[in-house]
């Protein structure tokens, strides 16, 4: 079914994986190129094995989502959160839909916005910043965390991985 569409020029890529002899699959990115060779029209097919990339993403998200450390991924420039793990969502009381696409400012996440500005200013353009930070949950509860900001380049966009191991929650302070 794919080949006639390629010949007509309706498609130039194919998302289907290759099947191995043992019935396993190999994820690939296949592209079709039209050309001229030996005085005939030809279609060159180039497939790139995505197994390693697929495996790397799978491993990363498995670790990211199963970690007990609060983690979020967002934009360095805008402060928009793209993704957050279960521990982050559970501790701050939001769902992923509520945080995805929102800025940390819109969520009123930082208890003291000056505290985060000082931490980031201290970085002097470094890719990593560490410190202590107090964040606010959806219900207003204060959560004191160790703060680790790791800048990551994804294609041309500067993103960051925010790691927040919890030190103390407000409810524990009240009991002491």
d(CA 71, CA 84): 6
> What is the percent of the chain with per-residue pLDDT over 90, rounded to a whole number?
15
Those residues with Cβ within 8 angstroms of residue 44's Cβ, 6 or more apart along the chain or in another chain: 32, 33, 34, 35
Do residues 41 and 71 both lie within one domain?
no
The overall average pLDDT reported for the chain is 81
Higher pLDDT, 117 or 1: 117
* Mean local confidence (pLDDT), 104-116: 84
Q: Any bridge partners for residue 43, and if so which?
A: 34
Q: Say if residue 39 is in the same domain as residue 97.
A: no
- The tally of domains found in the chain comes to 2
| Residue 93 bridge partners (DSSP) | none
Considering the domain architecture, whether residues 75 and 152 belong to the same structural domain is answered as yes
**Per-residue model confidence as pLDDT tens digits over 31-57:** 988 888 888 888 888 988 877 766 777
Contacts of 34-41 with CB under 8 Å at 24 or more apart are 34/9
Give the residue carrying structure tokens 């993704």.
83
Residue 56: inside a domain: no
Residue 16 domain boundaries: 2-49
Q: What is the pLDDT of residues 145-164, one digit of tens each?
A: 888 888 777 666 667 777 77
Q: Count Cβ atoms below 10 Å from residue 88 Cβ, excluding itself.
A: 24
Domain annotation covers residue 89: yes
Domain end (from 10, 27, 49): 49
Domain limit, last residue, from 27, 49, 71: 49
Q: Decide if 54 is inside a domain.
A: no
Shared-domain flag, residues 141 and 116:
yes
**What are the residues whose beta carbons fall under 8 Å from the beta carbon of 156, sequence distance 6 or more?**
none
How does pLDDT run across 51-65, given as a tens digit for each residue? 776 677 778 888 888
- Please name the residues in contact with 109: beta carbons below 8 A apart, sequence gap of 6 or more: 92, 135, 136
CATH number for the domain that contains residue 126 = 3.30.450.20
């Amino acid at each position: 079914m794919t080949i006639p569409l390629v010949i007509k020029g309706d498609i130039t890529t194919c998302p289907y994986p290759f099947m191995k002899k043992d019935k396993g699959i190999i994820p690939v990115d296949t592209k079709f190129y039209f050309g001229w060779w030996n005085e005939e029209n030809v279609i060159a097919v180039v497939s790139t094995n995505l197994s390693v990339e697929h495996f790397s993403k799978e491993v990363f998200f498995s670790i990211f989502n199963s970690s007990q450390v609060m983690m979020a991924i967002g934009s360095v420039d805008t402060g928009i959160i793209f993704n957050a793990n279960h521990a982050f969502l559970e501790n701050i009381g939001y769902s992923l839909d509520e945080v995805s696409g929102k800025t940390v400012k819109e969520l009123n996440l930082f208890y003291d916005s000056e505290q985060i500005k000082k931490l980031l200013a201290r970085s002097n353009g470094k890719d990593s910043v560490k410190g202590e930070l107090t964040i606010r949950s959806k219900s207003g509860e204060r959560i004191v965390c160790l703060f680790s900001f790791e800048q990551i380049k994804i294609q041309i966009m500067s993103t960051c991985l925010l790691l927040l191991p919890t030190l103390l929650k407000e409810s524990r302070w009240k009991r002491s």
